[in-house]
Structure 1
Amino acid sequence: MARPESLDLAHLRSWIGREETAEDVVTPILAERFHGTLDLAGPAPRAREAVPRLIHYGLTQAAVPTAGLGPDGHPARGGFLPPVPLPRRMFAGSTLAFQGDLRVGDAVRRVSRIADVTLKEGRTGPLLFVAVENRIEGNGETVLEEQQDIVYRGLDAGGAAKAPFPAPQGRWSETLSASEPLLFRYSALTFNSHRIHYDRRYAMEVEGYRGLVVHGPLQATLLLGFAARLRSAPPSRFSFRSLSTLFNGEPIVLHAEEDGDGLKLWTAHEGGPVAMAAQAAWT
């Protein structure tokens, strides 16, 4: 398997088992800003009311000093996550099981553990996957267990490839704008300084994209909200995986169809391939 000489898998796998704990509070202003950013219907949640699921991506984020950021805007490599010597870092997907909801005013505690580090060979070179287990507590009670997958890869991963098939049309669909303000506000909510989401020149000239990239967790949040509206209740289990990239300036289409007792969901641009695939279940 081809790999950079500096990619020492044994060293990177020594991070397996490392843990990190962080704390935060679900403030009323976070609930209001999340509500406004996503144009959610009705009033924002108030004290002791449940907040939308996946709002936890805006909680317990490390406040790394600006001087401690790498060239891509992410915190410099090392620390809790292993120092993977591949330039692109992306949120590949997640599997979530909800036991309850966070509420406005809750004291939040996140306990994270590196569960696995694996190397695979992709179309354009090595892909290094880091699996992170997260437990989210609200006022001492577990409300969410998540396995999050982060992928690292080379800059050439955005090169030319065989044209993918267009996404199918779902039984239900919604269209919304992937505007620059939406991407900026979501980056601010999640304290995400990855430059591919706001620095067009960097995204295009350094990482080889054709525009600003729509966040994976943002797409997942939109799909989970769509599922909750279709079933009039949020799912108890939700999983998602990024398959291709969405860019701002083109409308995002949310699709859904029945899948047994649950829903299959996906995002796409009009005429484009599936960008994110998701599954929602209520049992």
Structure 2
Amino acid sequence: MEVLQDGDPGLERKKRAMMGFFDPDKPILSQVLREAKSKADEEDRIKEEKREAKEVHYENLFDDFEGLVHLEALEMLSKQVSMRIEERVQSASPKHRQDIKETLQQVAELCEMPDEEDEEETMDSDQPKPEAFLERLQRATKDLGVKLQFQPLVKQYTEILEYMDDDSNDFTDKTMYKKAIGSLAQATALSVEIYHKAAEMLLVKPRRSTADEADGLTQLTVVLTKHTSDVATVFTQEMDKRATYENAIECKNYITNIFLEAGNSATYIQNAFQLTQPIVQIGAI
């Protein structure tokens, strides 16, 4: 071996490798594989977190349920009507112009949302059954003068209650949280669609009644805003009942986020209501 080593200076290293020794300057294969696996696991974890984040991202879900489509269509319709109103104001005589402006202001006042105290007087705190929810919607819009379709929204609410009553479902905190955010986004999208359809039908309505229309849309907004709160409460009450010492903090965070998104839903609904104001106003002038 000494003779061979004299002719091959690298023989000692080859011998050590053959005998199971490793070059300290080179990475060990098992270590390389562990690091590669760890990196792949981390990448998978990040991808999964991004996928889950998208699943519970309120705006993404609202868009998936076509809420954004109806909101943008309603915005365009409202803008077009506002331009028509402005044209009428500008083309009117000075005296008539002042009358139109006063009428527009009166309609705007009719479309103001009632105070929260007034809302509490007209809406009880109990979560309604689907039949009662439908009755509230119909009662709120009975003088609106157009036939609105509430069945998709009532059907979705029915499915939520059935889901919560089905003990065979996977009621983990995360699953319930995802369901809650998705349900709020869908309910809001369906609500915005109602305003969009109401605006279209009011514009082609042969005989307009400004006070009834303003009151009907205002009361509809009260009912729909309360509905998003009801949907949030359905989930948060169940999560609160299932909370334990181990998951208390996580449950609290989920419940807080659910109510935050319910507030977001209420804002979408009230914005949609405000977009219908020019549709009511043009019927008065």
Q: Which has the higher contact order (CA 8 A, sep 6+)?
A: 2
Q: What TM-score results when the alignment is normalised by the length of structure 2?
A: 0.24
Query: Which one has a larger percent helix, Structure 1 or Structure 2?
Result: 2
Query: Which one has a larger percent strand, Structure 1 or Structure 2?
Result: 1
